[in-house]
Amino acid sequence: MEPKKDTMHGKGNIKAHQLLEQKELTLDASDYLWYMTSVDINDTSIWSNSTLRVNTMGHTLHGYVNRKYIGYQFSQWGNKFTYEKNVSLKNGTNVITLLSATVGLANYGAWFDEIKTGISGGPVQLIGKNNVTMDLSTNLWSYKVGLNGERKRLYDSKSHVGVSWNTNSPHIPIGKPMTWYKAEFKAPFGRNPIVVDFQGLGKGHAWVNGHSIGRYWPSWVTSTNGCSDTCDYRGKYVKEKCNTNCGSPSQRWYHVPRSFLNDDMNTLVLFEEIGGNPQNVQFQTVTTGIICANVHEGAQLELSCQNGQVISQIQFASFGSPQGQCGSFKKGSWEATNSKSVVEASCIGKSNCGFIVTKEMFSVPLGVTNSIARLAVQVTC
């Protein structure tokens, strides 16, 4: 688990009577900033069952009250949002600890450096019985940049700064937020590219042999709406055209460069922020394939990728009088100018595609040529 003894007791190294902007404190040294304060309660009839309400600029916010985790929320599409959780307060001093996390910062666009993150200005409020409100925005707040696990470099197998991993438990903690995992693995045999499948994890960060391979968030799935079996890129472009993989994670596989790997054993370290199942993580190799087709007008074109791969690129497409063979196709004496765009519209993002090749499909006017045209295609899976 992420060591949190100091932050659960509200101990930070920066203090202010205001809610500060996250980037100004972290300086991009970490995705994480702790906001901590305390509140004294002397009337539990009003405050024993309350609501903690936090206005934040995003991107994700976790909450703890008196060392008890109360849950997390995240912004939709990068917008600011309101974090609301039911809390139980006790007589005396109550410690409120909030962990704000970013998932990448804007690096282009007008005034991108002025886009705020974190609980910048708040407000942070407690809502008690009969909507009695206590504003904590000008309380004395303590701040701490980053995770203790980051400071101890838990992701680096060569670091030994106060690091003690639990290797004796027969059960791997599953679904536990703020958990560090470490596993050893052998590099897959061969020279093909390697990917790691993070299906089953929640949200966090991954390292291989101390090298970051990026943030992951496979529990964030796209909308189930907006995809269709047909795809036509013709006409005005809009980003919703030809969507694929609706209802799937925005990213599931992550590239692991072979230059990161040792010949013998390797170390994978995960920081799981919201809870997941690391037992489903798998390494595998990827074969990047090239397939070709060369068919006459009136024939059926069929392209198919194997092992669940999809057509990712149309390297060559020419309807007319193409020359050459797979790997060395070239244009002939004439071709339809929309050859590539027609094939892209029919095949990109699909594991297989097929259609009858006709002059009409490629908008070739009657009388342009009396010869039988051919379509030559080379694609990447």
Reported as a single tens digit per residue, the pLDDT across 192-208 is 889 999 999 999 999 99
Q: Each residue of 326-343: pLDDT tens digit?
A: 888 999 988 999 999 999
Q: What percent of the chain has pLDDT over 90?
A: 70
Q: For residues 123, 128, 129 and 130, what is the CA-based torsion angle, rounded to 10 degrees?
A: -10
Structure confidence at residue 309 as a pLDDT band (50, 70, 90): confident
How many angstroms separate the first and last alpha carbons of the chain? 40
Q: Contact, 186 vs 265, CB < 8 A?
A: yes
pLDDT at 208 (0 to 100):
98
- pTM equals 0.78
Instruction: Look at residue 368 and tell me whether its pLDDT is greater than 80.
Output: no
Compute the Cα dihedral for 38, 44, 48, 50 and give only its sign: negative
Instruction: Look at residue 162 and tell me whether its pLDDT is greater than 80.
Output: no
Question: Average pLDDT of 260-275?
Answer: 96
Range with the poorest average pLDDT among 19-28, 52-61, 371-380: 371-380
Cα(361)–Cα(319) distance, rounded to whole angstroms?
A: 10
Range with the poorest average pLDDT among 6-20, 31-45, 158-172: 158-172
Q: Strand 92-101 and strand 300-304: pairing?
A: unpaired
CA 368 to mean position of chain CA atoms: 50
User: Among all chains, which residue has been given the structure tokens 């690091």?
Assistant: 163
CA atoms within 13 A on the CB side of 185: 21
Q: Which of 112, 111, 141, 108 is nearest to 7 (CA)?
A: 141
Q: Strand 282-285 and strand 194-197: pairing?
A: antiparallel
Question: Average pLDDT of 125-152?
Answer: 97
Instruction: Look at residue 37 and tell me whether its pLDDT is greater than 90.
Output: yes
Q: Residue 166, class by beta-carbon neighbours within 10 Å (0-12 exposed, 13-18 middle, 19+ buried)?
A: exposed
The residues near 299 (Cβ < 8 Å, ≥ 6 apart) are 356, 357
Instruction: Look at residue 49 and tell me whether its pLDDT is greater than 70.
Output: yes
Instruction: Look at residue 369 and tell me whether its pLDDT is greater than 80.
Output: no
Structure confidence at residue 367 as a pLDDT band (50, 70, 90): low
Structure confidence at residue 46 as a pLDDT band (50, 70, 90): very high
Cα(179)–Cα(177) distance, rounded to whole angstroms?
A: 6
Q: Which of 132, 25, 21 is nearest to 80 (CA)?
A: 21
Instruction: Look at residue 160 and tell me whether its pLDDT is greater than 70.
Output: no
Instruction: Look at residue 214 and tell me whether its pLDDT is greater than 90.
Output: yes
Q: Domains of the chain, with CATH numbers?
A: 5-149 (2.60.120.260), 152-286 (2.60.120.260), 290-380 (2.60.120.740)
CA 378 to mean position of chain CA atoms: 31
Q: Contact, 106 vs 112, CB < 8 A?
A: yes
Q: Contact, 352 vs 303, CB < 8 A?
A: yes
